[in-house]
Amino acid sequence: METQSPSIKKIALNFGLLLALLSIVLQVIAFVVDAHIERPWWLTVLQLGISISIIVYALKIFKQGNSGYLTLGQAIKIGLAISVIAGIVAVLFNFIFINYIDPEFVAKTMDYSREQMIEQNPNMTQEQIDSAMSISEKFMSPLIMSAFAIIGSLFFGFIISLIAGVIMKRNPPQQF
């Protein structure tokens, strides 16, 4: 009798929602401590650590349920599925966050960007600053922000699952 392999969809959905929930909690904490505009390095490292932990643990759970076998393809599928689910939920939460929780988020981010630009490049003319801010403003549109969030989530999910998959890989024996 053959043992049934765990469902990639079920694992991806459960761990994708868990990753999304933890990411939302981290974003709320950043908002409460007023670190959501500047995004200090520790916040990025913590988010990356959470993503790595969730994806690696999901791969471990899948491998255990799959008689100890995990192919690189399965690892990448699981990692990308978790990432896309977490990314979509994050985009939905960011829509709520930007429109209802902190409606001044975009304006505050633009002001912070202007301050950083002037501080790092004190010789910029007003025309150069205005041109750079105009470009930055285009990237702050909801559609562009959503696209970058999904692409970023998929990129890091791919890298994490690729590295973890290479480390954890154990191909099943060939059956003829």
Torsion angle, alpha carbons of 62, 65, 67, 71, to 10 = -10
pLDDT of residue 161: 98
125 in any annotated domain: no
pLDDT of residue 137: 85
80 in any annotated domain: yes
1 in any annotated domain: no
Residue 22 CA: distances (Å) to CA of 29, 67, 94, 118, 131? 10, 29, 14, 35, 37
Residue 64 has pLDDT above 90, yes or no: yes
CA distance 19 to 76: 16
The number of distinct structural domains making up the chain is 1
Residue 1 has pLDDT above 50, yes or no: no
Average pLDDT over residues 85-107: 92
Query: Is 62 within 8 Å of 74 (Cβ atoms)?
Result: yes
Residue 125 CA: distances (Å) to CA of 5, 86, 108, 109, 122? 62, 41, 22, 21, 9
111 in any annotated domain: no
Residue 149 has pLDDT above 60, yes or no: yes
CA distance 130 to 40: 25
Give the tokens for residue 49. Answer: 């650590």
In Å, how far from its chain's centre is CA 84? Answer: 9
Unique residue bearing structure tokens 């993503």 = 51
Residue 35 has pLDDT above 80, yes or no: yes
76 in any annotated domain: yes
Q: How many C-beta neighbours within 10 Å does residue 41 have?
A: 8
129 in any annotated domain: no
Give bridge partners of residue 170 from the DSSP assignment.
70
Q: Which domain holds residue 19?
A: 8-102+153-168
